[in-house]
Amino acid sequence: MSRLVVISNRVAVPKARGAAGAQGGLAGALNSALKQNGGIWFGWSGQETDTFTGNINVQRSEGVTTATIDLEQADVEEYYNGYANSTLWPLFHYRIDLTEYEQEFGRGYERVNERFAQSVLPLIEPEDTVWVHDYHLMPLGERLRSRGVKNRIGFFLHIPWPPTRLFVSLPFHQRLVRAMLHYDLIGFQTTEWLESFLHYCERELGATVDHEDCVVELDGRKTVAKAYPIGVDYDHFVAQGQTIAAKTAYRRLCDSSRTRTAMIGVDRLDYSKGLPERMDGIGRFFDTYPDRVKDLLFIQIAPPSREDIGSYQKIRTMLEQKTGQINGARSDVDLVPIRYVNRGYSMAELFGFYRAAKIGLVTPLRDGMNLVAKEYVAAQDPEDPGVLVLSRFAGAALQMGEALLVNPYSPDDVAHNIRLALDMSLAERKARWEQLIVTVRDDNVLRWTDNFITDLEGTTEPAVG
Ligand code: ADQ
């Protein structure tokens, strides 16, 4: 296996788990791959400088080498808060209403991709396999090719790919996808996002698409595009369950919920996660079944993210209001139905909370995959497993059909399925969980990285030209 060069917006070393949690599920996955293959993880340090220097800071931690650069304040504004998180993120999550199309965002995005290419270039050796991650860096492969890089370069998109009719609202959409077709392999979370991408290439670019072998051909270059559903680091996560921290967290939640069934939600505070809509569903449950208020305790853990962006500030305020309204209307001196917590926890503590909660409520409006759904299943007690209530619009729903699948926009559907989960027999809970755990255990993150890297290394010839 050749050395791996992973490139993503941010790098996250293993010991920074609290922070990694808030950054998303990428961190654990890539650390595992790098430990296995050796190599470097390159990205932005998270620091801002007055003038871009291109200086690279190399560090080694727990068997992983990281190389980072600082960016200018304008880069962070236009590339990170701007194009990546105010243009691409909302558009790719079908939120055209929140999408901002500012020219300087696009220019900042191109500039930073150029800076990434220039800075990472000296670190790439001829035999390395290069793996670029996510929507921040879609044109990076083409930038590297223009500097003569002939290595195998793959790209994985962690978020959905939108339908063509939405995607064409993006100015210069053709330029972006043409640049992507300089990768040898493009991976998506699900076949749904893959099909949207292939549809776009065929309809809008006039590319030749071989649907059987998933090859897109344009201007004499061939790119393979396939679905690789990401998973959790199953063995590592389950081992966390044996720690004192996990057992303490488990006891804390069991003891404090007493006779009530605990139901849990764990999400970055992001509008794609459907948190206000989830509160509407819970409110509807209490309105429809008022005698069940005493039976249910809902815990929502939601660490803030991307706080510099207006839409994220709004979602936080909205969620606080809705939680406050429900608690105001339904609390008693000895009972508060919702506990809303704005902080991160360690993986071990999350394991304990997941296991103590007999319902996992995962209701994003749109999500590339959603690792919380898989972590929840992995943490369950096989003799008394909880029930996963999962949005139909999460990529994970395609693999996890034995969950109770809901429409997150419908408070009635959410309320109805909470009631089904609350009253589900042990036999049915076990039967569903025994199916779900097979996917979660077998389609884990090690298999994901293996599959992607093996396919990338097996692409016939680099997409140079
Ligand atoms: P995210 O949108 O961040 O990831 P998700 O897949 O759910 O979404 O991963 C979140 C991760 O953060 C989970 O591992 C979770 O345990 C952790 N986390 C959440 N809240 C936490 C808290 N309070 N404390 C500690 N950890 C917390 C993006 C895409 C997803 C895709 C992943 C991986 O949006 O669709 O599944 O990348 O590809």
301 Cα: distance to centroid of ligand 1 (angstroms): 12
Residue 430 forms part of a structural domain = yes
332 Cα: distance to centroid of ligand 1 (angstroms): 33
Residue 363 forms part of a structural domain = yes
**Residues 183 and 258 occupy one common structural domain:** no
Quote the tokens at residue 147.
């500097």
**Residues 156 and 247 occupy one common structural domain:** no
**Residues 198 and 257 occupy one common structural domain:** no
Amino acid at 5: V
Q: How many domains does the chain have?
A: 2
Q: What's the Cα-to-Cα distance from 425 to each of 430, 432, 437, rounded to whole Å?
A: 9, 11, 18
**Residues 181 and 282 occupy one common structural domain:** no
- The C-alpha atoms of residue 337 and residue 64 are separated, in whole angstroms, by 43
- The C-alpha atoms of residue 446 and residue 100 are separated, in whole angstroms, by 36
16 Cα: distance to centroid of ligand 1 (angstroms): 15
Closest CA to 109 of 129, 89, 131: 89
**Residues 125 and 196 occupy one common structural domain:** yes
Pocket test for ligand 1, best of 372, 390, 398, 449 (most atoms within 8 A of CB): 372
pLDDT tens for residues 349-400? 999 999 999 999 999 999 999 999 999 999 999 999 999 999 999 999 999 9
CATH number of the domain to which 363 belongs: 3.40.50.2000
**Residues 225 and 372 occupy one common structural domain:** no
The pTM for the full model equals: 0.96
CA atoms within 13 A on the CB side of 279: 22
Which residues are designated catalytic?
158, 367
Residue 407 forms part of a structural domain = yes
Say which residues have a Cβ less than 8 Å from residue 229's Cβ, sequence separation at least 6. Answer: 189, 190, 369, 395, 396, 398, 399, 443, 448
User: Above 90 in pLDDT, residue 18?
Assistant: no
Q: Which ipTM value was assigned to this complex?
A: 0.98
**Residues 127 and 249 occupy one common structural domain:** no
**Residues 28 and 154 occupy one common structural domain:** yes
**Residues 196 and 318 occupy one common structural domain:** no
Confidence band, pLDDT 50/70/90 cuts, at residue 31: confident
Ligand 1 atom closest to residue 371's alpha carbon, by position in its atom list: 6
pLDDT at position 465 is: 53
Nearest protein Cα to ligand 1, atom 1: 24
284 Cα: distance to centroid of ligand 1 (angstroms): 27
Output the ligand 1 site: residues, CB below 6 A.
Answer: 21, 24-26, 158-159, 230, 266, 268, 301, 303, 344-345, 350, 367-372, 375
Confidence band, pLDDT 50/70/90 cuts, at residue 33: confident
Residue 425 forms part of a structural domain = yes
Residue 415 forms part of a structural domain = yes
User: Above 70 in pLDDT, residue 449?
Assistant: yes
Say which residues have a Cβ less than 8 Å from residue 88's Cβ, sequence separation at least 6. Answer: 135, 138, 170
Ligand 1 atom closest to residue 28's alpha carbon, by position in its atom list: 14
DSSP 98: G
**Residues 222 and 240 occupy one common structural domain:** no
**Residues 208 and 332 occupy one common structural domain:** no
21 Cα: distance to centroid of ligand 1 (angstroms): 6
**Residues 165 and 258 occupy one common structural domain:** no
Q: Please give the distance of CA 409 from its chain centroid, rounded to a whole number.
A: 20
Confidence band, pLDDT 50/70/90 cuts, at residue 14: low
Nearest protein Cα to ligand 1, atom 2: 24
35 Cα: distance to centroid of ligand 1 (angstroms): 21
Ligand 1 atom closest to residue 346's alpha carbon, by position in its atom list: 25
Pocket test for ligand 1, best of 156, 240, 266, 393 (most atoms within 8 A of CB): 266
**Which of the pair, 248 or 20, is modelled with greater confidence?**
248
Q: Please give the residue range of the domain that contains residue 350.
A: 234-442
Ligand 1 atom closest to residue 373's alpha carbon, by position in its atom list: 7
Nearest protein Cα to ligand 1, atom 14: 25
Residue 465 forms part of a structural domain = no
Amino acid at 359: I
Residue 464 forms part of a structural domain = no
pLDDT tens for residues 234-250? 998 999 999 999 999 99
pLDDT tens for residues 49-64? 999 999 999 998 877 8
Pocket test for ligand 1, best of 91, 268, 269 (most atoms within 8 A of CB): 268
Alpha helices (H) in 234-388, listed in sequence order = 234-240, 244-257, 275-288, 310-330, 347-356, 371-378
Residue 462 forms part of a structural domain = no
